[in-house]
Structure 1
Amino acid sequence: MSEQRIELGLTAAAPAGGGCGEACGCGHAAAASAAAAATATDELRVEGMTCEHCVRAVTEELSSLAGVDVVDIALQAGGTSMVRITRTEDVTDDDLAAAIDEAGYSLAP
């Protein structure tokens, strides 16, 4: 019986943290590392929210913007609520203000 050797062309080992790495070509590791590298967080102060319905309205409008991944709101009923946005793409201040306005609220000065 003769030995047959198959060259796979792999040049990189699996990363120390686990996963398949970029060498396999599946893209999982590349996509995860790109998303982690490009994540940014913005904090906005929004006036006029009084209840969970308000929170849902603002969350829905902000989440509809391209690049916005997570919206977290610390409701201060009748006061100024803190809105934290985690994003993977640039979102303009005008786009954020328009989304808040569309939900029926305004950015605090």
Structure 2
Amino acid sequence: MTDALKITARPLPLVDAGGGCACCDPTPSTAEAAADAFEQHNPPAQIAVFEVEGMTCEHCVGRVTDAVKAVEGVREVQVQLVPAGLSMVTVATDRLLLPATVRAAIEEAGYSVSGS
């Protein structure tokens, strides 16, 4: 005679943070936590904003982002696309860079920097 295994099921509580059940709690990954810690202890040396003319789509955003990221010392590039106007390109660097260096990268990608 075998003893029957008794299985009891209970529902897991939901997590309000948008992640579903408690076993799938959306906690930051180790890489995300390390990046956040790095950012807190190593703030950018410089943050500069450029007004860029001629960007009309996400393809343009990609071209400008890739061109600026290729500049040595650039840590991060964020683009706020304004198709009918001046798009804002924010650049964070690990060291001080001349604005002309970033401006040249944007212009080589085929776009105009306002005020240049």
TM range, smaller chain? 0.5 to 0.7
* 2:80 is equivalent to residue 89 of structure 1: no
Query: TM-score scaled by structure 1?
Result: 0.65
Q: 2:65 aligns with which of 59, 62, 81?
A: 59
The CA deviation string for residues 36-92 of structure 1, in whole angstroms up to 9 with x for no partner, is: 145321111000000001000000000000110110000000310001111111221
Given that residues 46 and 106 in structure 1 are in contact (C-alpha distance below 8 angstroms), is that contact kept between their aligned partners in structure 2? yes
The CA deviation string for residues 5-57 of structure 1, in whole angstroms up to 9 with x for no partner, is: xxxxxxxxxxxxxxxxxxxxxxxxxxx48x71453211110000000010000
Matches within 5 A, 1:65-84: 65-84=71-90
- Aligned Cα root-mean-square deviation (Å): 2.1
Aligned equivalents of 2:57, 2:45: Cα separation in 1: 29
Q: If you compute each CA radius of gyration, which structure gives the higher value, 1 or 2?
A: 2
Cα pair distance change 1:38/1:86, threshold 3 Å: closer
Given that residues 67 and 88 in structure 1 are in contact (C-alpha distance below 8 angstroms), is that contact kept between their aligned partners in structure 2? yes
Q: When the two structures are aligned, how many residues end up with a matched partner?
A: 79
Gaps of 5+ in 2: 1-37
Query: TM-score scaled by structure 2?
Result: 0.61
Gaps of 5+ in 1: 1-31
Aligned equivalents of 2:86, 2:102: Cα separation in 1: 16
Aligned equivalents of 2:93, 2:60: Cα separation in 1: 21
Aligned equivalents of 1:41, 1:108: Cα separation in 2: 17
Following TM superposition, where does structure 1 have runs of at least 4 consecutive aligned residues deviating by more than 4 angstroms?
none
Give identity over the alignment, percent. Answer: 36
